[in-house]
Chain A
Amino acid sequence: MDEEGVMYLVFALLMPLIGFTILQSFGKGGFGIVAAALLIIDVVLVMMMNWADFILFPIITNLLGITFQPASGYKIIKGQDAIVKEINGLFYATGFVTGNLFGYSFKQETAPEDEIGKMIMAPDTWERGIMNIDFPFKFHVVAAGLDSQKVRDEFEGKRSYQEFQLSRALQSGGNEVTITDIQRKINIIQTKIDRLSQGERPLASVMYFETTAIGVSEKAALDSLTSQIKSLQISMSSMDIDLARVQGRELYTLFKFNFGLPTSFEEMALYFDQQG
Protein backbone atom coordinates (compact mmCIF):
# COMPACT_ATOMS: atom_id res chain seq x y z
CA MET A 1 0.00 0.00 0.00
CA ASP A 2 1.32 3.49 -0.86
CA GLU A 3 1.42 6.54 1.46
CA GLU A 4 -1.91 7.82 0.16
CA GLY A 5 -3.55 4.48 0.93
CA VAL A 6 -2.13 4.48 4.46
CA MET A 7 -3.41 8.04 4.99
CA TYR A 8 -6.93 7.11 3.84
CA LEU A 9 -6.94 4.01 6.02
CA VAL A 10 -5.67 5.78 9.15
CA PHE A 11 -8.18 8.63 8.86
CA ALA A 12 -11.07 6.27 8.09
CA LEU A 13 -10.24 4.11 11.11
CA LEU A 14 -10.05 7.15 13.40
CA MET A 15 -13.84 7.49 13.39
CA PRO A 16 -14.61 4.00 14.77
CA LEU A 17 -11.71 4.40 17.22
CA ILE A 18 -13.22 7.60 18.63
CA GLY A 19 -16.61 5.89 18.52
CA PHE A 20 -15.35 3.07 20.75
CA THR A 21 -13.85 5.51 23.26
CA ILE A 22 -17.20 7.31 23.64
CA LEU A 23 -19.28 4.17 23.45
CA GLN A 24 -20.78 4.69 26.93
CA SER A 25 -22.52 7.85 25.64
CA PHE A 26 -24.76 5.54 23.56
CA GLY A 27 -26.08 3.94 26.71
CA LYS A 28 -25.69 0.52 28.25
CA GLY A 29 -27.43 -2.71 27.32
CA GLY A 30 -29.11 -3.13 23.92
CA PHE A 31 -28.37 0.36 22.52
CA GLY A 32 -24.70 0.14 23.49
CA ILE A 33 -24.41 -3.29 21.82
CA VAL A 34 -26.04 -2.00 18.61
CA ALA A 35 -23.67 1.03 18.61
CA ALA A 36 -20.65 -1.26 19.09
CA ALA A 37 -21.94 -3.54 16.29
CA LEU A 38 -22.26 -0.53 13.94
CA LEU A 39 -18.69 0.52 14.70
CA ILE A 40 -17.41 -3.03 14.11
CA ILE A 41 -19.31 -3.11 10.78
CA ASP A 42 -17.61 0.19 9.90
CA VAL A 43 -14.14 -1.30 10.53
CA VAL A 44 -14.98 -4.48 8.57
CA LEU A 45 -16.36 -2.53 5.60
CA VAL A 46 -13.36 -0.17 5.50
CA MET A 47 -10.98 -3.15 5.60
CA MET A 48 -12.95 -4.90 2.86
CA MET A 49 -12.94 -1.77 0.69
CA ASN A 50 -9.18 -1.62 1.16
CA TRP A 51 -8.29 -5.21 0.35
CA ALA A 52 -11.28 -6.74 -1.40
CA ASP A 53 -13.25 -3.89 -2.97
CA PHE A 54 -13.57 -5.94 -6.18
CA ILE A 55 -15.72 -8.41 -4.20
CA LEU A 56 -17.70 -5.95 -2.09
CA PHE A 57 -18.47 -3.40 -4.77
CA PRO A 58 -20.15 -5.80 -7.27
CA ILE A 59 -22.17 -7.28 -4.38
CA ILE A 60 -23.56 -3.81 -3.57
CA THR A 61 -24.35 -2.93 -7.21
CA ASN A 62 -25.87 -6.36 -7.76
CA LEU A 63 -28.11 -6.02 -4.70
CA LEU A 64 -29.21 -2.51 -5.60
CA GLY A 65 -29.40 -3.25 -9.34
CA ILE A 66 -27.15 -0.30 -10.20
CA THR A 67 -25.73 -0.05 -13.73
CA PHE A 68 -23.35 2.57 -15.11
CA GLN A 69 -23.00 4.33 -18.43
CA PRO A 70 -19.27 4.97 -18.84
CA ALA A 71 -19.74 6.59 -22.26
CA SER A 72 -22.46 7.09 -24.82
CA GLY A 73 -23.73 3.70 -26.07
CA TYR A 74 -21.95 1.62 -23.40
CA LYS A 75 -23.28 0.06 -20.21
CA ILE A 76 -21.45 -1.54 -17.29
CA ILE A 77 -23.80 -4.24 -16.04
CA LYS A 78 -24.79 -4.56 -12.37
CA GLY A 79 -22.44 -7.52 -11.86
CA GLN A 80 -19.55 -5.15 -12.75
CA ASP A 81 -17.85 -7.79 -14.88
CA ALA A 82 -18.87 -6.83 -18.42
CA ILE A 83 -19.51 -3.83 -20.62
CA VAL A 84 -22.32 -4.04 -23.14
CA LYS A 85 -22.77 -2.02 -26.31
CA GLU A 86 -25.92 -2.19 -28.41
CA ILE A 87 -25.78 -1.49 -32.14
CA ASN A 88 -28.81 -1.96 -34.39
CA GLY A 89 -30.41 -4.50 -32.06
CA LEU A 90 -27.24 -6.53 -31.61
CA PHE A 91 -25.43 -6.67 -28.28
CA TYR A 92 -21.65 -6.75 -27.94
CA ALA A 93 -20.49 -7.78 -24.45
CA THR A 94 -16.85 -7.21 -23.51
CA GLY A 95 -15.07 -8.71 -20.51
CA PHE A 96 -11.52 -8.72 -19.18
CA VAL A 97 -9.30 -11.42 -17.67
CA THR A 98 -6.01 -10.84 -15.85
CA GLY A 99 -2.96 -12.49 -17.37
CA ASN A 100 0.23 -11.32 -15.72
CA LEU A 101 3.05 -13.15 -17.46
CA PHE A 102 6.03 -11.32 -15.97
CA GLY A 103 4.89 -11.33 -12.34
CA TYR A 104 5.31 -15.08 -12.43
CA SER A 105 8.98 -15.09 -13.37
CA PHE A 106 9.96 -12.21 -11.06
CA LYS A 107 8.79 -13.86 -7.87
CA GLN A 108 10.90 -16.93 -8.11
CA GLU A 109 14.56 -17.66 -7.82
CA THR A 110 15.14 -19.98 -10.76
CA ALA A 111 18.48 -20.82 -12.26
CA PRO A 112 19.20 -19.00 -15.57
CA GLU A 113 19.00 -22.35 -17.45
CA ASP A 114 15.37 -22.83 -16.34
CA GLU A 115 14.57 -19.35 -17.53
CA ILE A 116 16.07 -20.02 -20.96
CA GLY A 117 14.05 -23.22 -21.16
CA LYS A 118 10.90 -21.29 -20.39
CA MET A 119 11.70 -18.63 -22.98
CA ILE A 120 12.24 -21.30 -25.62
CA MET A 121 8.91 -22.84 -24.71
CA ALA A 122 7.05 -19.50 -24.65
CA PRO A 123 6.26 -19.11 -28.41
CA ASP A 124 5.05 -22.73 -28.58
CA THR A 125 2.93 -22.41 -25.44
CA TRP A 126 1.37 -19.21 -26.75
CA GLU A 127 0.55 -20.71 -30.16
CA ARG A 128 -0.88 -23.87 -28.63
CA GLY A 129 -3.02 -21.67 -26.40
CA ILE A 130 -4.55 -19.57 -29.16
CA MET A 131 -4.83 -22.41 -31.66
CA ASN A 132 -8.16 -23.59 -30.24
CA ILE A 133 -9.68 -20.16 -29.77
CA ASP A 134 -12.38 -19.39 -32.34
CA PHE A 135 -13.66 -16.09 -31.00
CA PRO A 136 -12.17 -12.59 -30.93
CA PHE A 137 -9.84 -11.67 -28.11
CA LYS A 138 -6.99 -9.30 -27.37
CA PHE A 139 -3.97 -9.73 -25.15
CA HIS A 140 -2.68 -6.42 -23.85
CA VAL A 141 0.57 -5.54 -22.12
CA VAL A 142 0.59 -2.01 -20.73
CA ALA A 143 4.19 -1.28 -19.79
CA ALA A 144 6.23 1.66 -18.60
CA GLY A 145 9.98 1.63 -18.05
CA LEU A 146 11.14 2.66 -14.57
CA ASP A 147 14.23 4.52 -13.40
CA SER A 148 16.89 1.78 -13.01
CA GLN A 149 18.86 3.61 -10.31
CA LYS A 150 15.77 4.29 -8.20
CA VAL A 151 14.66 0.65 -8.41
CA ARG A 152 18.19 -0.56 -7.63
CA ASP A 153 18.38 1.65 -4.54
CA GLU A 154 15.02 0.31 -3.41
CA PHE A 155 16.15 -3.30 -3.82
CA GLU A 156 19.41 -2.64 -2.01
CA GLY A 157 17.47 -1.14 0.89
CA LYS A 158 15.27 -4.23 1.02
CA ARG A 159 18.30 -6.52 0.88
CA SER A 160 20.00 -4.68 3.76
CA TYR A 161 16.86 -5.04 5.85
CA GLN A 162 16.67 -8.79 5.12
CA GLU A 163 20.40 -9.18 5.90
CA PHE A 164 19.82 -7.44 9.23
CA GLN A 165 16.92 -9.81 9.93
CA LEU A 166 19.14 -12.78 9.03
CA SER A 167 21.98 -11.74 11.32
CA ARG A 168 19.50 -11.22 14.15
CA ALA A 169 17.95 -14.66 13.53
CA LEU A 170 21.41 -16.29 13.45
CA GLN A 171 22.51 -14.56 16.67
CA SER A 172 19.37 -15.48 18.55
CA GLY A 173 19.53 -19.06 17.26
CA GLY A 174 16.30 -18.74 15.24
CA ASN A 175 14.72 -21.85 13.80
CA GLU A 176 15.80 -23.37 10.49
CA VAL A 177 12.56 -22.48 8.66
CA THR A 178 12.88 -18.75 9.46
CA ILE A 179 16.54 -18.63 8.42
CA THR A 180 15.86 -20.46 5.15
CA ASP A 181 12.95 -18.14 4.41
CA ILE A 182 15.07 -15.01 4.94
CA GLN A 183 17.86 -16.48 2.81
CA ARG A 184 15.35 -17.20 0.06
CA LYS A 185 14.10 -13.59 0.17
CA ILE A 186 17.71 -12.32 -0.05
CA ASN A 187 18.34 -14.56 -3.06
CA ILE A 188 15.25 -13.24 -4.85
CA ILE A 189 16.28 -9.62 -4.25
CA GLN A 190 19.86 -10.40 -5.32
CA THR A 191 18.58 -12.00 -8.55
CA LYS A 192 16.67 -8.82 -9.31
CA ILE A 193 19.71 -6.62 -8.56
CA ASP A 194 21.86 -8.84 -10.81
CA ARG A 195 19.33 -8.48 -13.61
CA LEU A 196 19.48 -4.72 -13.29
CA SER A 197 23.30 -4.84 -13.31
CA GLN A 198 23.16 -6.83 -16.56
CA GLY A 199 21.29 -3.94 -18.17
CA GLU A 200 17.71 -5.15 -17.89
CA ARG A 201 15.29 -2.25 -17.59
CA PRO A 202 12.84 -2.50 -14.71
CA LEU A 203 9.25 -2.39 -15.86
CA ALA A 204 5.87 -1.60 -14.41
CA SER A 205 3.38 -3.65 -16.35
CA VAL A 206 -0.27 -4.62 -16.41
CA MET A 207 -1.26 -7.55 -18.59
CA TYR A 208 -4.76 -8.65 -19.41
CA PHE A 209 -6.99 -10.38 -21.93
CA GLU A 210 -10.06 -8.77 -23.45
CA THR A 211 -12.76 -10.67 -25.27
CA THR A 212 -16.00 -9.65 -26.95
CA ALA A 213 -19.10 -11.76 -27.53
CA ILE A 214 -22.14 -11.02 -29.66
CA GLY A 215 -25.79 -11.83 -29.04
CA VAL A 216 -29.28 -10.91 -30.15
CA SER A 217 -30.13 -9.98 -26.56
CA GLU A 218 -28.08 -8.67 -23.66
CA LYS A 219 -28.44 -11.99 -21.85
CA ALA A 220 -27.36 -13.99 -24.91
CA ALA A 221 -24.28 -11.79 -25.33
CA LEU A 222 -23.40 -12.05 -21.63
CA ASP A 223 -23.86 -15.84 -21.60
CA SER A 224 -21.69 -16.11 -24.66
CA LEU A 225 -19.09 -13.85 -23.02
CA THR A 226 -18.99 -16.05 -19.91
CA SER A 227 -18.43 -19.15 -22.02
CA GLN A 228 -15.71 -17.36 -24.04
CA ILE A 229 -13.95 -16.28 -20.85
CA LYS A 230 -14.05 -19.84 -19.50
CA SER A 231 -12.67 -21.11 -22.77
CA LEU A 232 -9.92 -18.47 -22.69
CA GLN A 233 -9.03 -19.46 -19.12
CA ILE A 234 -8.74 -23.12 -20.16
CA SER A 235 -6.77 -22.39 -23.35
CA MET A 236 -4.29 -20.14 -21.60
CA SER A 237 -3.95 -22.25 -18.44
CA SER A 238 -0.83 -23.86 -19.95
CA MET A 239 0.94 -20.51 -19.50
CA ASP A 240 0.77 -21.03 -15.73
CA ILE A 241 -0.63 -17.59 -14.98
CA ASP A 242 -3.47 -16.36 -12.81
CA LEU A 243 -6.47 -15.89 -15.11
CA ALA A 244 -9.11 -14.14 -13.01
CA ARG A 245 -12.11 -12.33 -14.47
CA VAL A 246 -11.82 -8.59 -13.84
CA GLN A 247 -14.61 -7.03 -11.77
CA GLY A 248 -15.33 -3.60 -10.34
CA ARG A 249 -13.30 -0.46 -10.81
CA GLU A 250 -10.51 -2.14 -12.83
CA LEU A 251 -13.12 -3.01 -15.48
CA TYR A 252 -13.86 0.70 -15.91
CA THR A 253 -10.14 1.53 -16.01
CA LEU A 254 -9.40 -1.12 -18.63
CA PHE A 255 -12.39 0.04 -20.67
CA LYS A 256 -11.00 3.59 -20.66
CA PHE A 257 -7.60 2.27 -21.79
CA ASN A 258 -9.20 1.40 -25.14
CA PHE A 259 -9.59 5.10 -25.91
CA GLY A 260 -6.66 6.70 -24.10
CA LEU A 261 -3.74 5.50 -22.00
CA PRO A 262 -2.14 7.11 -18.96
CA THR A 263 0.56 9.50 -20.09
CA SER A 264 2.94 8.97 -17.17
CA PHE A 265 3.94 6.18 -14.83
CA GLU A 266 2.52 8.12 -11.85
CA GLU A 267 -0.90 8.29 -13.54
CA MET A 268 -0.74 4.58 -14.34
CA ALA A 269 0.17 3.75 -10.71
CA LEU A 270 -2.91 5.65 -9.51
CA TYR A 271 -5.14 3.14 -11.30
CA PHE A 272 -3.39 -0.03 -10.22
CA ASP A 273 -2.27 0.45 -6.65
CA GLN A 274 -3.84 -2.83 -5.63
CA GLN A 275 -2.12 -4.84 -8.37
CA GLY A 276 1.19 -2.94 -8.03
Chain B
Amino acid sequence: MNAANQMDKKLLVFLGLLGLSFLLLIIASFIPLSAPTDVFKLILLAVAVAANVLAFSSRYYIYLILPLFEQRRKNIVINDQSPYWLSSTSDAILQKEGDDFIATVYINIPLYRSATEMSDEDKLNFAQQVSRLVGISKEPTRFTTQLYVMNKDSYIQKLRDTITLVEEEEAKLVTGNAPQSEIERVRGKASMWRKMLDNVGKGSSLELSSFASLSARGGKEFEAISLAQQKAREMMSGIGATFGVSPNVVLGNELLKFVEPEYLIPFSTISEQITKNIQEEVI
Protein backbone atom coordinates (compact mmCIF):
# COMPACT_ATOMS: atom_id res chain seq x y z
CA MET B 1 0.00 0.00 0.00
CA ASN B 2 1.59 3.30 -0.97
CA ALA B 3 1.27 6.57 0.94
CA ALA B 4 -1.61 7.85 -1.26
CA ASN B 5 -3.69 4.69 -0.77
CA GLN B 6 -3.02 4.76 2.95
CA MET B 7 -4.11 8.40 3.03
CA ASP B 8 -7.37 7.59 1.20
CA LYS B 9 -8.14 4.75 3.59
CA LYS B 10 -7.36 6.94 6.58
CA LEU B 11 -9.65 9.71 5.34
CA LEU B 12 -12.40 7.21 4.56
CA VAL B 13 -12.30 5.75 8.08
CA PHE B 14 -12.23 9.25 9.60
CA LEU B 15 -15.22 10.45 7.59
CA GLY B 16 -17.12 7.19 8.19
CA LEU B 17 -16.71 7.34 11.96
CA LEU B 18 -17.37 11.07 12.06
CA GLY B 19 -20.51 10.59 9.96
CA LEU B 20 -21.68 7.83 12.32
CA SER B 21 -21.06 10.11 15.28
CA PHE B 22 -23.12 12.97 13.74
CA LEU B 23 -25.89 10.59 12.69
CA LEU B 24 -26.23 9.13 16.19
CA LEU B 25 -26.23 12.61 17.72
CA ILE B 26 -28.99 13.77 15.38
CA ILE B 27 -31.07 10.61 15.96
CA ALA B 28 -30.67 11.04 19.72
CA SER B 29 -31.76 14.68 19.55
CA PHE B 30 -34.87 13.83 17.50
CA ILE B 31 -36.15 11.10 19.82
CA PRO B 32 -38.90 12.70 21.90
CA LEU B 33 -38.33 13.24 25.59
CA SER B 34 -40.01 10.63 27.77
CA ALA B 35 -38.94 8.47 30.71
CA PRO B 36 -38.07 5.22 28.83
CA THR B 37 -36.36 6.91 25.86
CA ASP B 38 -34.16 9.27 27.89
CA VAL B 39 -31.76 6.46 28.80
CA PHE B 40 -31.71 5.29 25.19
CA LYS B 41 -30.88 8.86 24.05
CA LEU B 42 -27.91 8.92 26.45
CA ILE B 43 -26.71 5.53 25.21
CA LEU B 44 -26.82 6.85 21.64
CA LEU B 45 -24.91 9.95 22.72
CA ALA B 46 -22.26 7.82 24.47
CA VAL B 47 -21.79 5.74 21.28
CA ALA B 48 -21.61 8.97 19.26
CA VAL B 49 -18.87 10.26 21.61
CA ALA B 50 -16.93 6.99 21.27
CA ALA B 51 -17.23 7.14 17.45
CA ASN B 52 -16.06 10.76 17.47
CA VAL B 53 -12.99 10.00 19.61
CA LEU B 54 -12.20 6.97 17.41
CA ALA B 55 -12.61 9.13 14.28
CA PHE B 56 -10.05 11.59 15.62
CA SER B 57 -7.72 8.78 16.79
CA SER B 58 -7.80 7.26 13.29
CA ARG B 59 -5.35 9.97 12.23
CA TYR B 60 -2.51 8.17 13.99
CA TYR B 61 -4.00 4.81 14.91
CA ILE B 62 -5.58 3.67 11.66
CA TYR B 63 -3.22 0.66 11.69
CA LEU B 64 -4.85 -0.49 14.95
CA ILE B 65 -8.46 0.62 14.58
CA LEU B 66 -9.20 -1.53 11.52
CA PRO B 67 -7.69 -4.79 12.92
CA LEU B 68 -9.35 -4.03 16.28
CA PHE B 69 -12.81 -3.93 14.65
CA GLU B 70 -12.12 -6.96 12.48
CA GLN B 71 -10.65 -9.22 15.15
CA ARG B 72 -12.31 -8.04 18.39
CA ARG B 73 -9.88 -9.87 20.69
CA LYS B 74 -7.08 -9.04 23.10
CA ASN B 75 -4.16 -10.11 20.92
CA ILE B 76 -4.54 -8.09 17.74
CA VAL B 77 -2.61 -9.28 14.72
CA ILE B 78 -1.54 -6.29 12.63
CA ASN B 79 0.62 -8.45 10.40
CA ASP B 80 1.25 -12.20 10.48
CA GLN B 81 3.97 -12.19 7.83
CA SER B 82 7.71 -12.01 8.40
CA PRO B 83 8.64 -8.31 8.49
CA TYR B 84 11.22 -8.73 5.69
CA TRP B 85 13.08 -11.18 3.52
CA LEU B 86 16.62 -11.24 2.18
CA SER B 87 16.94 -10.38 -1.49
CA SER B 88 18.22 -13.07 -3.87
CA THR B 89 21.26 -10.88 -4.48
CA SER B 90 21.91 -10.89 -0.69
CA ASP B 91 22.66 -7.18 -0.63
CA ALA B 92 19.33 -5.84 0.62
CA ILE B 93 16.32 -6.73 2.70
CA LEU B 94 12.89 -6.45 1.15
CA GLN B 95 9.38 -5.87 2.36
CA LYS B 96 6.10 -5.54 0.51
CA GLU B 97 3.78 -2.62 1.10
CA GLY B 98 0.62 -2.96 -0.95
CA ASP B 99 1.74 -3.26 -4.57
CA ASP B 100 5.18 -1.79 -3.91
CA PHE B 101 8.42 -3.36 -2.77
CA ILE B 102 10.73 -1.54 -0.38
CA ALA B 103 14.40 -2.49 -0.50
CA THR B 104 16.70 -1.47 2.33
CA VAL B 105 20.47 -1.47 1.97
CA TYR B 106 22.95 -1.36 4.84
CA ILE B 107 26.33 0.34 4.47
CA ASN B 108 29.13 -0.46 6.86
CA ILE B 109 31.14 2.61 7.93
CA PRO B 110 34.58 1.45 9.10
CA LEU B 111 35.40 4.10 11.70
CA TYR B 112 37.96 3.09 14.30
CA ARG B 113 38.84 6.38 15.96
CA SER B 114 38.76 7.20 19.63
CA ALA B 115 38.54 10.58 21.35
CA THR B 116 41.40 9.54 23.64
CA GLU B 117 43.87 9.73 20.77
CA MET B 118 42.57 13.04 19.36
CA SER B 119 43.78 16.57 19.92
CA ASP B 120 41.19 19.35 20.43
CA GLU B 121 41.48 20.24 16.76
CA ASP B 122 40.93 16.60 15.74
CA LYS B 123 37.89 16.41 18.00
CA LEU B 124 36.40 19.54 16.43
CA ASN B 125 37.09 18.18 12.94
CA PHE B 126 35.55 14.84 13.84
CA ALA B 127 32.38 16.45 15.26
CA GLN B 128 32.09 18.59 12.12
CA GLN B 129 32.57 15.50 9.94
CA VAL B 130 29.75 13.73 11.80
CA SER B 131 27.50 16.78 11.29
CA ARG B 132 28.34 16.77 7.58
CA LEU B 133 27.71 13.02 7.36
CA VAL B 134 24.20 13.39 8.75
CA GLY B 135 23.39 16.08 6.18
CA ILE B 136 24.78 14.25 3.13
CA SER B 137 21.53 12.95 1.73
CA LYS B 138 18.25 14.61 0.81
CA GLU B 139 16.52 11.23 1.11
CA PRO B 140 15.74 9.91 4.60
CA THR B 141 18.80 7.97 5.72
CA ARG B 142 19.46 6.31 9.04
CA PHE B 143 22.91 6.48 10.63
CA THR B 144 23.50 4.06 13.45
CA THR B 145 26.15 3.26 15.99
CA GLN B 146 25.61 -0.17 17.43
CA LEU B 147 27.14 -1.81 20.48
CA TYR B 148 26.52 -5.55 20.44
CA VAL B 149 27.69 -8.77 22.01
CA MET B 150 30.47 -10.33 19.98
CA ASN B 151 29.40 -13.62 18.47
CA LYS B 152 31.64 -16.26 20.03
CA ASP B 153 29.30 -19.14 19.23
CA SER B 154 31.62 -20.79 16.70
CA TYR B 155 34.66 -20.24 18.95
CA ILE B 156 32.83 -21.77 21.93
CA GLN B 157 31.74 -24.71 19.76
CA LYS B 158 35.34 -25.19 18.60
CA LEU B 159 36.51 -25.23 22.24
CA ARG B 160 33.84 -27.80 23.15
CA ASP B 161 34.86 -30.01 20.19
CA THR B 162 38.51 -29.74 21.21
CA ILE B 163 37.67 -30.73 24.80
CA THR B 164 35.72 -33.77 23.54
CA LEU B 165 38.67 -34.82 21.37
CA VAL B 166 41.15 -34.43 24.24
CA GLU B 167 38.86 -36.41 26.58
CA GLU B 168 38.62 -39.20 23.99
CA GLU B 169 42.41 -39.16 23.69
CA GLU B 170 42.70 -39.40 27.48
CA ALA B 171 40.23 -42.33 27.62
CA LYS B 172 42.21 -44.16 24.91
CA LEU B 173 45.48 -43.63 26.77
CA VAL B 174 43.96 -44.84 30.05
CA THR B 175 42.46 -47.99 28.50
CA GLY B 176 45.63 -48.64 26.45
CA ASN B 177 47.84 -48.60 29.58
CA ALA B 178 49.90 -45.68 28.28
CA PRO B 179 52.70 -44.21 30.45
CA GLN B 180 51.48 -42.03 33.36
CA SER B 181 53.42 -38.99 32.12
CA GLU B 182 51.57 -39.14 28.80
CA ILE B 183 48.18 -39.40 30.57
CA GLU B 184 49.08 -36.44 32.81
CA ARG B 185 50.06 -34.37 29.78
CA VAL B 186 46.68 -35.01 28.09
CA ARG B 187 44.83 -34.30 31.36
CA GLY B 188 46.70 -30.99 31.63
CA LYS B 189 45.69 -30.18 28.07
CA ALA B 190 42.01 -30.94 28.82
CA SER B 191 42.14 -28.81 31.96
CA MET B 192 43.65 -25.92 29.98
CA TRP B 193 40.84 -26.02 27.36
CA ARG B 194 38.15 -26.29 30.07
CA LYS B 195 39.55 -23.21 31.82
CA MET B 196 39.63 -21.43 28.48
CA LEU B 197 35.95 -22.29 27.90
CA ASP B 198 35.07 -21.08 31.40
CA ASN B 199 36.80 -17.76 30.80
CA VAL B 200 35.27 -17.23 27.37
CA GLY B 201 31.78 -18.03 28.62
CA LYS B 202 32.03 -15.96 31.81
CA GLY B 203 31.78 -12.47 30.37
CA SER B 204 30.55 -11.12 27.08
CA SER B 205 32.80 -9.10 24.81
CA LEU B 206 31.25 -6.14 23.10
CA GLU B 207 31.82 -4.74 19.63
CA LEU B 208 30.97 -1.27 18.35
CA SER B 209 30.19 -0.65 14.71
CA SER B 210 28.64 2.13 12.65
CA PHE B 211 26.44 1.80 9.62
CA ALA B 212 24.01 3.71 7.45
CA SER B 213 20.80 2.35 5.97
CA LEU B 214 18.48 3.68 3.31
CA SER B 215 15.43 2.45 1.45
CA ALA B 216 13.96 2.74 -2.01
CA ARG B 217 10.51 1.93 -3.33
CA GLY B 218 9.81 0.12 -6.58
CA GLY B 219 7.04 -1.68 -8.42
CA LYS B 220 9.21 -4.78 -8.83
CA GLU B 221 11.75 -6.36 -6.50
CA PHE B 222 14.72 -5.72 -8.78
CA GLU B 223 13.60 -2.12 -9.38
CA ALA B 224 13.51 -1.37 -5.65
CA ILE B 225 16.87 -3.10 -5.11
CA SER B 226 18.64 -1.32 -7.97
CA LEU B 227 17.25 2.06 -6.83
CA ALA B 228 18.41 1.38 -3.26
CA GLN B 229 21.83 0.27 -4.51
CA GLN B 230 22.13 3.42 -6.59
CA LYS B 231 21.31 5.56 -3.54
CA ALA B 232 23.79 3.49 -1.51
CA ARG B 233 26.58 4.15 -4.02
CA GLU B 234 25.95 7.90 -3.79
CA MET B 235 25.90 7.68 -0.01
CA MET B 236 29.13 5.64 0.06
CA SER B 237 30.99 8.22 -2.02
CA GLY B 238 29.72 10.92 0.37
CA ILE B 239 30.86 8.95 3.42
CA GLY B 240 34.22 8.20 1.79
CA ALA B 241 34.79 11.87 0.98
CA THR B 242 33.80 12.99 4.49
CA PHE B 243 35.80 10.52 6.58
CA GLY B 244 38.39 9.23 4.14
CA VAL B 245 37.33 5.62 4.71
CA SER B 246 36.04 2.92 2.34
CA PRO B 247 32.47 2.05 3.25
CA ASN B 248 30.96 -1.15 1.87
CA VAL B 249 27.49 -2.60 1.38
CA VAL B 250 26.71 -5.25 3.97
CA LEU B 251 26.00 -8.64 2.38
CA GLY B 252 24.23 -11.88 3.29
CA ASN B 253 23.87 -13.01 6.87
CA GLU B 254 25.95 -10.07 8.08
CA LEU B 255 22.81 -7.97 7.45
CA LEU B 256 20.96 -9.84 10.17
CA LYS B 257 23.33 -8.39 12.77
CA PHE B 258 21.71 -5.00 12.11
CA VAL B 259 18.13 -6.24 11.90
CA GLU B 260 17.39 -9.15 14.24
CA PRO B 261 17.56 -8.76 18.04
CA GLU B 262 18.94 -12.28 18.53
CA TYR B 263 22.00 -11.35 16.49
CA LEU B 264 22.72 -8.54 18.95
CA ILE B 265 22.91 -11.11 21.74
CA PRO B 266 23.97 -14.51 20.32
CA PHE B 267 22.46 -17.37 22.33
CA SER B 268 25.48 -19.65 23.02
CA THR B 269 27.67 -16.69 23.85
CA ILE B 270 25.23 -15.42 26.42
CA SER B 271 23.97 -18.74 27.81
CA GLU B 272 26.60 -18.84 30.57
CA GLN B 273 25.56 -15.38 31.70
CA ILE B 274 21.87 -16.30 31.71
CA THR B 275 22.63 -19.35 33.86
CA LYS B 276 24.63 -17.14 36.23
CA ASN B 277 21.79 -14.59 36.44
CA ILE B 278 19.26 -17.35 37.23
CA GLN B 279 21.56 -18.72 39.94
CA GLU B 280 21.87 -15.22 41.44
CA GLU B 281 18.09 -14.76 41.36
CA VAL B 282 17.55 -18.14 43.08
CA ILE B 283 20.12 -17.29 45.77
Q: Are B123 and A15 in contact (CB under 8 A)?
A: no
Residue of A nearest to B217 (CB): A263
Once A12-B55, A138-B144 are accepted as A-B contacts, the answer to whether A267 and B3 lie under 8 Å apart by CB is yes
Q: Of B48, B95, B143, which one neighbours A141 at CB under 8 angstroms? A: B143
Interface residue? B185 (CB, 8 A): no
Q: 1/0 per position for A82-99, CB-CB distance to B under 8 A?
A: 000101101010100000
Interface residue? A270 (CB, 8 A): yes
CB distance from A261 to the nearest CB of B (A): 4
Query: Which B residues are in CB contact (< 8 Å) with A124?
Result: 115, 123
Interface residue? A264 (CB, 8 A): yes
Query: Which B residues are in CB contact (< 8 Å) with A161?
Result: none
- From B41, B123, B140, B144, residue with most partner A Cβ within 10 Å: B140
Interface residue? B142 (CB, 8 A): yes
Once A140-B143, A142-B142 are accepted as A-B contacts, the answer to whether A12 and B123 lie under 8 Å apart by CB is no
Interface residue? A120 (CB, 8 A): yes
Query: Which B residues are in CB contact (< 8 Å) with A177?
Result: none
Q: Residues of A at under 8 Å CB distance from B?
A: 4-5, 8-9, 11-12, 15-16, 18-19, 22, 25-27, 31, 34-35, 38-39, 41-42, 45-46, 49-50, 53, 57, 64-75, 85, 87-88, 90, 92, 94, 116, 119-124, 126-127, 130, 133-145, 200-201, 203, 205, 212, 214-216, 249, 252, 256-268, 270
CB distance from B184 to the nearest CB of A (A): 39
Q: Residues of B at under 8 Å CB distance from A?
A: 3, 14, 18, 21-22, 25, 28-30, 33, 38, 41-42, 45-46, 48-49, 52-53, 55-57, 59-61, 63-64, 68, 74-84, 93, 95, 97, 102, 104, 114-116, 118, 120, 123-124, 126-128, 130, 134-149, 204, 206, 208, 213-217, 259, 261-262, 264-265, 267, 270, 274, 278
Q: Are B144 and A140 in contact (CB under 8 A)?
A: yes
Q: Are B142 and A257 in contact (CB under 8 A)?
A: yes
Q: Of B22, B49, B81, B143, which one neighbours A71 at CB under 8 angstroms? A: B81
Query: Which B residues are in CB contact (< 8 Å) with A145?
Result: 135-138
Once A136-B149, A143-B140, A260-B104 are accepted as A-B contacts, the answer to whether A66 and B262 lie under 8 Å apart by CB is no
CB distance from A21 to the nearest CB of B (A): 10
CA gap between A135 and B206 in the complex, in Å: 8
Query: Which A residues are in CB contact (< 8 Å) with B127?
Result: 119-120, 122-123
Q: Are A203 and B42 in contact (CB under 8 A)?
A: no
Give 23 CB contacts A-B under 8 Å. Answer: A16-B52, A42-B53, A45-B53, A69-B75, A69-B79, A70-B78, A70-B79, A72-B82, A87-B262, A127-B115, A133-B147, A134-B206, A138-B145, A140-B144, A143-B143, A144-B137, A144-B141, A203-B134, A212-B261, A259-B259, A260-B84, A260-B102, A262-B215
Query: Which B residues are in CB contact (< 8 Å) with A212?
Result: 261, 264-265
Q: Of B56, B138, B146, B213, which one neighbours A261 at CB under 8 angstroms? A: B213
Q: Are B21 and A15 in contact (CB under 8 A)?
A: yes
CB distance from B79 to the nearest CB of A (A): 5
